[in-house]
Structure 1
Amino acid sequence: MSRIIENPKQLILEKSKEILIHEGYSKLSMRNVAKACDIALGTIYNYYPTKKDLVMAMMEGYWEEYFLLLDKIINSKRDFYVKLNDIFINLDHFTKKFKKMWLRPEFYATPEFVETGVEREYVYFEGLIKRFEALLISEASKKDSAINLKLDSYETAKFIAMNFMTMIQMPFFDYLSFEKFLKQLLN
């Protein structure tokens, strides 16, 4: 009699992540994942037809976890600039961890992996921009708002997102200096 697994997709992702973290990409095989999950190899292929699909699903889960944290910050009752600072700090941590975990040379050994990774990166970066835009619109609509949107909300959100990523990648310009410029732009 076969056993019933509550959430096989989640189990597969969790065990795959453990293998990837502790044993490396070379040990991340469908066979090893099936063994770690104690499920049939065919079950793995039902959910993830290729290793690339499995890796991309894990990467997407990583982004989704970050977006949940971001949404929690955005929906908090704190000051706009405190929220932005929290977002910046968490984006910095997320980016560093992302590089260590997901920007490994073995993931990008084939053009297919590179192309898929870049496509997904654009999708998730767009999600980041949309969240900045929602925060800007929400804050600007408040009666005693700390900001005044003088420019297009989407363009302003892109400006913030791109500057955050630039500051994380090249820390020549610190967050507090950026916040001073942003206050001039938004007040």
Structure 2
Amino acid sequence: MARVIENPKQLILSKAKEILYNQGYHKLSMRALSKACNIALGTIYNYYPTKKDLIIEMMTDYWQNYLDSVHKIVKSNTNIYIKLNNIFNELEAFIRSFRQYWLTSELYDSQEYVEGGLQKQYVFMEKLIVIIEDMLLKEQANKNIQIKLSAQETASFIIMNFITIVQMPLFKYESFELFLKELLE
């Protein structure tokens, strides 16, 4: 009788991440994954027909976890500047981790990543901007802030500056927050 595996897709993703994070992209093969999961190679291919599909699903899962944490921050009962600071801190941790695991040369040299991963990254950046835009509009409706640009432009401005501050820490978040307060009040 065949063995029943609860949530095989999640098991595969979990083990794939373990291999990627601990051994690197070149050690992540469908055979190695099959062995790590203790399931048949065909089962792996049923869920992920190519390594590209697996990598994109892993990246999607990684980004979704980040967006879930941003949603929790946005729903918190704190003022907008505390929310933005918390979103920045989460983004900073996310980018540092992303660099370590996803921006390695071995992954960027891979056509699987370049073809699909970057496209997914842009989709999730847009989702993040929409989350911030919605938060800004709610804050404006509650008369906590006054948006001087469009909410979409302001959200894009915030996220792009967050990313720049993380990647080039010549400018401190606290200084950026002063600009935000001028822009939003």
Place the TM-score, normalised by the shorter chain, in its bin: over 0.9
Q: Deviations over 1:27-74 (max 9, x none)?
A: 211011111111110010011111121111111111011011000000
Contact 2:55/2:112, CA 8 A, preserved across alignment:
no
What letter matches 1:36 in structure 2?
A
Q: C-alpha distance in 2, partners of 1:113/1:63?
A: 14
CA shift, 1:127, in A, is 1.0
Structure with higher RCO (Cα < 8 A, 6+ apart): 2
Name the counterpart of 1:184: 182
1:29 maps to 29
Name the residue aligned to 2:7: 7
Aligned residues: 185
Q: TM-score, normalised by structure 2?
A: 0.96
Shift of residue 75, structure 1, vs aligned partner: 0.4
Residue in 2 that maps onto 1:162: 160
**AA paired with 2:56?**
M
User: Over residues 1-51 of structure 1, what are the superposed CA-to-partner deviations in whole Å (9 max), with x where a residue is unaligned?
Assistant: 111112110000001111112222222110111111111100100111111
Q: Where does the alignment leave 5 or more consecutive residues of structure 2 unmatched?
A: none
Distance 1:112 1:16, change over 3 A: closer
C-alpha distance in 1 between matches for 2:175 and 2:94? 21
Q: Secondary structure of the equivalent of 2:3?
A: coil
Residue in 2 that maps onto 1:173: 171
- Opposite residue 18 of structure 1, the aligned amino acid is E
Supply the AA of the counterpart residue of 1:155. E
Quote the offset at 1:110 in angstroms. 3.9
Judging changes above 3 Å, is the alpha-carbon distance between structure 1 residues 32 and 111 closer, same or farther for their aligned structure 2 residues? closer
Corresponding position of 1:70: 70
In the alignment, does 2:96 pair up with 1:127? no
- List per-residue Cα deviations over 1:88-139 (Å, max 9, x = no partner): 0110010010010111111122445323222111111101101110110111
CA RMSD of aligned residues (A): 1.2
Separation (CA, whole Å) in 1 of partners of 2:112 and 2:54: 14
Q: Conserved in 1, the CA contact under 8 Å of 2:52 and 2:116?
A: no
In structure 1, distance between residues paired with 2:164 and 2:28: 33
Aligned residue for 2:148, secondary structure, equals coil
1:146 deviation in Å? Answer: 2.7
CA separation in 2, counterparts of 1:62 and 1:52?
15
Match of 1:89 in 2: 89
Identity over aligned pairs, percent: 54
